[in-house]
C-alpha cells in the first residue's frame, strides 16, 4: 500500500505465533491504520522480536499504541503474570490500550462439573478444544513437543480484572465470549 501521509498506530502483537493477519481482532482494523510489530518467544514463529512476555526489554518504553495478547498469560506461572502485565503497561503510550484474552476457567468449571472434561466444547482452527485443553494446554501441540503450549495458571473474570488493575491500568473491562474465553481491555491514562 502506498504511503498516503496518514500516521499509523503500532500494535505489539505479543505471542503472535505464525504470521497471519487474520489473528488480529477487529480493534486493529482497518489494518491500514495499524502497523503490527510481532513478538514471540518461539523463533519458529518468525517474529520481529524474539523475547519473553515477562521481559520485553527490546521494546522501548511508551513506544506502542496497543498491545494484543491472545492466550499467552495462561502459559505463565501465576507469579509471572504481574511481570508480563507490567511490561504491557510499560511499552504503551499514554492513551494506549492492552487487549488480552485467556480461557474463562469459571465457565470451563461448569463443563468439568458436568463430567465433560474430555468432550469438545468448541472447534478452533487447531481442532476440537475440550475443557482439558483449556485448563492444561492444547494436548495436540504439547504432544508434538511444543511445550510453550502448557498452561501454568488460569483466570476468572474477577481475577483477570484484578490483575490488570494491579498492573496500573485505571480503566479495565472484562467480557466473556462464546468460546469459553475472557477478553480484557485495559487502558492507560490519557495524560
Per-residue pLDDT tens digits for 120-166: 999 988 889 999 999 999 999 899 998 888 999 999 999 999 999 99
Cell numbers linked to 44: 519458529
Residue found by looking up cell 503450549 in the block: 149
Strands, DSSP E only, in the chain?
9-14, 34-40, 49-50, 64-70, 92-103, 122-124, 127-129, 171-176, 181-187
- Please give the model's pTM, rounded to 2 decimal places: 0.91
What is the maximum span of the chain, computed from C-alpha positions, in angstroms? 57
pLDDT computed for residue 21 by the predictor: 56
pLDDT computed for residue 82 by the predictor: 98
pLDDT computed for residue 2 by the predictor: 46
131 domain-assigned: no
User: What Rg, from alpha-carbon coordinates, does the chain have?
Assistant: 17
118 domain-assigned: no
124 domain-assigned: no
Domain count, the chain: 1
- Say if CB 132 and CB 118 are below 8 A apart: yes
Which residues of the chain are modeled with pLDDT < 50? 1-3
pLDDT computed for residue 146 by the predictor: 86
129 domain-assigned: no
pLDDT computed for residue 190 by the predictor: 67
Q: Which domain holds residue 19?
A: 9-103+149-187
15 domain-assigned: yes
pLDDT computed for residue 137 by the predictor: 95
pLDDT computed for residue 53 by the predictor: 96
Read off the CATH number of the domain in which 182 is found.
3.40.50.150
Amino acid at each position: 500500500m502506498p504511503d498516503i501521509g496518514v500516521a499509523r498506530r503500532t500494535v505489539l502483537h505479543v505471542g503472535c505465533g505464525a504470521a497471519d493477519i487474520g489473528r488480529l481482532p477487529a480493534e486493529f482494523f482497518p489494518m491500514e491504520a495499524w502497523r503490527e510489530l510481532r513478538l514471540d518467544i518461539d523463533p519458529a514463529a518468525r517474529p520481529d522480536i524474539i523475547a519473553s512476555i515477562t521481559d520485553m526489554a527490546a521494546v522501548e518504553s511508551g513506544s506502542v499504541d496497543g498491545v494484543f495478547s491472545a492466550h499467552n498469560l495462561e502459559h505463565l506461572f501465576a507469579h509471572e503474570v504481574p511481570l508480563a502485565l507490567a511490561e504491557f503497561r510499560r511499552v504503551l503510550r499514554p492513551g494506549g490500550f492492552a487487549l488480552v484474552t485467556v480461557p474463562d476457567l469459571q465457565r470451563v468449571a461448569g463443563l468439568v462439573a458436568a463430567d465433560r472434561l474430555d468432550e469438545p466444547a468448541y472447534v478452533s482452527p487447531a481442532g476440537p478444544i475440550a475443557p482439558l485443553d483449556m485448563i492444561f494446554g492444547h494436548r495436540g501441540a504439547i504432544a508434538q513437543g511444543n511445550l510453550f503450549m502448557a498452561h501454568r495458571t488460569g483466570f476468572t473474570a474477577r481475577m483477570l480484572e484484578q490483575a490488570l488493575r494491579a498492573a496500573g491500568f485505571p480503566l479495565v473491562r472484562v467480557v466473556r465470549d462464546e468460546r469459553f474465553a475472557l477478553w480484557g481491555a485495559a487502558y492507560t491514562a490519557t495524560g
